[in-house]
Amino acid sequence: MKIEIDSDITKAKTIPSKFYHSPKIYRKLKKLFDRSWQFIGDTNLLKKNNTHPGILLEGMVDEPYILTKDKDNIRCLSNVCTHRGNIVCNDSCNTKTLVCGYHGRQFEINGKMKFMPEFDNVTNFPNKNDDLPQIEMEFWENLIFVTNEKKCDLSELIRPMTERLDWLPVGEFKYKPELFRTYKVSANWALYCDNYLEGFHIPFVHKDLNKELEYENYFTQGIENTILQIGIGKDGENTFDLPENHQDYGKNVAAYYFFLFPNMMFNFYPWGLSINIVKPKSPEYTEIEYFTYVWKEELIGKGAGGDLDKVELEDGEIVESVQKGVKSNSYDRGRYSPKREIGVHHFHSLLQKYYK
Ligand code: FES
Ligand SMILES: [Fe+2]
């Protein structure tokens, strides 16, 4: 299937509905996700232990990785044994040596193979192909991002966000593990993103949130691989104290919502940051992980970022309802509101650009 989205939103039609349920299209998306940057946590993952295994976007990218720390050096390595492909490390632990549980191959914490039983007389062994390969990793403050196939620097992807927020002390925000959540939605990952990318549904779906926001002034802009939405608070609501020279100074900014293509959401509220990672698990099932970083504890629970659980459940319900609709034989493509669906149109245009 070819995605064709007219760059003129007044003429454009939305993505063919097949995109939201076809297993064949879902499988082809692996390449797009392989090339994306993915947030996997922060440097605190290596505070107690010096190893932390994981699987990059399980259900889509499926790349086993392991974060390791030796002295102050953090690396992301492949967690696949270079002998016969077993997963080397299953749990976070503190160790000097990674030992594969299948036939006992040992690796240094930097990935170098250091010992293998019963391998006398093997020619040209060990060589660098026997070491655990590195996986590309970059940081924003203490937040860790990795990619399976690096196509651009992380800084390039996040620039629209970091420039706009250069006055926020993101490095000082505190991660709250007790506020970590996984939401499960029986719908395609891109439907979930579509829904996130417009404020159009707020008055219909989020009646409480709508009381906090000034709907007429909701702002959306697509900037390269980022989509920015700004929620403007009603007078008296909780808003940011912006520096005088800031481009948004004078506006009642209640929330900055940054979408980083294809599946990361960085939501900044006066209390701090909620990172939502949309994890495609299968064509019609998605999990969304919420990571919470607190800046001003006393503001939690207030304003547009107040009751995120409620907003999330309302979104989950509507997106599941749409999933049933897009599978119908009688629906294929819709049209966009030029005023209210700029973000959705930009997202679909990026899918057209990167889905090959
Ligand atoms: S697969 Fe790891 S030692 Fe054989
Ligand atoms: Fe919503």
* CATH number, position 44: 2.102.10.10
Indicate whether 314 belongs to any domain: yes
Ligand 1 pocket, residues with Cβ under 6 angstroms: 81, 83-84, 86, 100, 102-105
Q: What is the pTM assigned to this prediction? A: 0.97
Q: How far is the C-alpha of 250 from the C-alpha of 14, rounded, in Å?
A: 35
Indicate whether 8 belongs to any domain: no
Structure tokens at 133: 């390969």
> Is the same domain home to 211 and 325?
yes
Give the tens place of pLDDT for each residue, 177-225: 999 999 999 999 999 999 999 999 999 999 998 998 999 999 999 999 9
> Is the same domain home to 262 and 311?
yes
> Is the same domain home to 22 and 42?
no
> Is the same domain home to 27 and 48?
no
pLDDT value at position 302? Answer: 81
The yes-or-no verdict on residue 236 having pLDDT over 90 is no
Contact 106/116 with Cβ under 8 angstroms?
A: yes
Select from 147, 170, 189 the last residue of a domain: 147
pLDDT value at position 303? Answer: 78
> Is the same domain home to 220 and 183?
yes
| Domains contained in the chain, number | 2
> Is the same domain home to 105 and 23?
no
Select from 112, 147, 182 the last residue of a domain: 147
pLDDT class of 120 with cuts at 50, 70, 90? very high
Chain Cα centroid distance, residue 134: 21
Mutational test site, ligand 1, from 86, 131, 132, max ligand atoms within 8 Å of CB = 86
DSSP-derived secondary structure letter, 199: S
Q: What is the largest CA-CA distance in the chain?
A: 77
Measured in Å, residue 39 CA sits from the centre of ligand 1 at 29
Indicate whether 316 belongs to any domain: yes
> Is the same domain home to 59 and 83?
yes
pLDDT value at position 237? Answer: 82
Measured CA to CA in angstroms, residue 267 lies from 169, 255, 333 at distances of 15, 7, 29
Q: Whose CA is nearest to atom 3 of ligand 1?
A: 103
Domain containing 42 equals 38-147
Residues, beta carbon < 5 Å, ion ligand 2? 315
Q: Whose CA is nearest to atom 1 of ligand 1?
A: 84
